[in-house]
Amino acid sequence: MARAAARSHFRRRRHGYLFVAPVLLFLAAVIVVPLGWAFWTSLHRIRGIRVSFVGLANYGQMLADDAFWHSLGVSLAFTGASVALHLGLGLALALLLNELRFARTALRIAFLTPWMVAPAVGATIWLWLLEPQFGVVNWLLQAAHVVSSPVAWLGEPATALASVIVVDVWRGVPFVMLLMLAGLQTIPAEQYEAAAMDGAGAWQRFRFVTWPNLRYLTVVATTLDIINTIRHYDIIGVMTGGGPAGGTEVLPVLLYNLAFRSNRFGEASATGVLLLVLVLAFAVVYVKLAKLDRAGGG
């Protein structure tokens, strides 16, 4: 009986399955197979082309390694600071652009430019801007008497981490700004008019009209931005390679260094799987929020 019902269900939907099949196959080829391969690799000790099965030993080794925990700490610091600044500045710029009555399109394009530049290209430009001897940043700061001698921005762990955060903020703010601007433009003008009639000032309009309307979008943007930033490699890879002395070695950079500098593909894959678990945790939060949104209707 149940089998007959299932058969009838499949027969009714077979065209749907047929249409979806190419996409499913494509996703399997570009996501499921590489992920499965990475997990399989993480269960092996790989030395060049010699491979031996070691089970979960690579995971044990990574979790017992100080370098992993150090990188996790750097990752969290980098992600926390970057996301906070993306959101703060993104929201401020969106509010500014939303209020503007002239040059809005030109400014929107101008603010979006960093997002359009390939991250590796942007990072290379910043690398030269921050160069201690010949860089423009030091030249400007010295001309303005902010610093008395050139600063080796990428030469110390603290300034190097701050520098890569600044570059990531430069690159990441436009995306958040765009999301927030879209959110701002969906707020009905009547709400502001009603608030104005009640005598609300600019701050009160923001607090009681704008913010409640943007709250859900902010949570979604935060979650998406965390997922995007925590797995970020290119800017740090190009600018510092994780140095100096591991000061900017976020998890993706550690993974890259393990795989391609130290030739330890098994340990690198284990790190990749652990990073994936971390990203998935945030993805679950995002999916739950999306469900809540659907249930709440707005």
Partner 1 sequence: MQVRPFLRMLASIAALGAASAFAQQPIVLQWQTANLTESQYEPIWKKTIAEFEAANPGIRVEPVLVARKDHWTKFVAASQAKKAPCIVSVDLTTAAYNGYLMPLDKYWNAEPASWRHAWSDDMLKASRWKGQLYGLPIWGGTYAEIYNRDLLTKAGLDPANPPKTIDEYMRWSKKLSGADHWATAVLGGRTDTTTRVLLTWIWANGGEAFNADMTEATFAKDPKSLAAIRMYLGMAREGLAAPAPTTTNYLEQTNLYAQGKIATMRNAYWAIAKVVGDNPAMKGKSVVGPIPANVPNAPTLATVTASSISSSCANPDAAWKFIKFDAEKKWAIERARVANWMPLRNDLADDPAIKADPLLEQFVRIGQNARSYPLPHPLWADIAANDIVDAVQKALLAPEKTEAIFRDLDTRLTKKLRDI
Query: Which residues contribute to the site for partner 1 (CB under 8 A)?
Result: 47-50, 132-133, 149-150, 152, 154-157, 241, 243-246, 257, 260-263, 265
User: DSSP character for 287?
Assistant: H
Quick one: 92 or 140, whose CB is closer to partner 1?
A: 140
Structure tokens at 139: 């030249």
Q: How far is the CB of 218 from partner 1 (least distance, A)?
A: 37
Q: How far is the CB of 171 from partner 1 (least distance, A)?
A: 21
Q: Calculate Rg over the CA atoms of the chain.
A: 24
Quick one: 114 or 243, whose CB is closer to partner 1?
A: 243
Quick one: 80 or 132, whose CB is closer to partner 1?
A: 132
Q: How far is the CB of 84 from partner 1 (least distance, A)?
A: 27
Quick one: 97 or 167, whose CB is closer to partner 1?
A: 167
Tell me the CB-side half-sphere exposure of residue 50, using CA atoms within 13 A. 1
Structure tokens at 164: 């890569």
Quick one: 114 or 132, whose CB is closer to partner 1?
A: 132
Q: How far is the CB of 262 from partner 1 (least distance, A)?
A: 5
Tell me the angle at which helices 119-129 and 136-143 cross, rounded to the nearest 10 degrees: 40
Between CA 222 and CA 217 the distance in angstroms is: 8
Identity of residue 153? W
Quick one: 24 or 35, whose CB is closer to partner 1?
A: 35
Q: How far is the CB of 247 from partner 1 (least distance, A)?
A: 8
Q: How many Cβ atoms are within 10 Å of 282's Cβ, its own excluded?
A: 19
Give the residue among 106, 114, 72 at the shortest CA–CA distance from 89: 114
Tokens 């942007």 correspond to 122
Asked if residues 161 and 248 have their Cβ atoms less than 8 Å apart, the reply is: yes
Between CA 96 and CA 117 the distance in angstroms is: 23
Taking the CA atoms of 67, 73, 76 and 81 in sequence, report the sign of the dihedral they define: negative
Q: How far is the CB of 175 from partner 1 (least distance, A)?
A: 28
Q: How far is the CB of 44 from partner 1 (least distance, A)?
A: 12
DSSP H helices in the chain: 2-27, 33-42, 57-63, 66-99, 104-116, 119-129, 136-143, 157-184, 189-197, 202-205, 211-230, 234-239, 251-256, 265-296
Q: How far is the CB of 66 from partner 1 (least distance, A)?
A: 11
Quick one: 127 or 278, whose CB is closer to partner 1?
A: 127
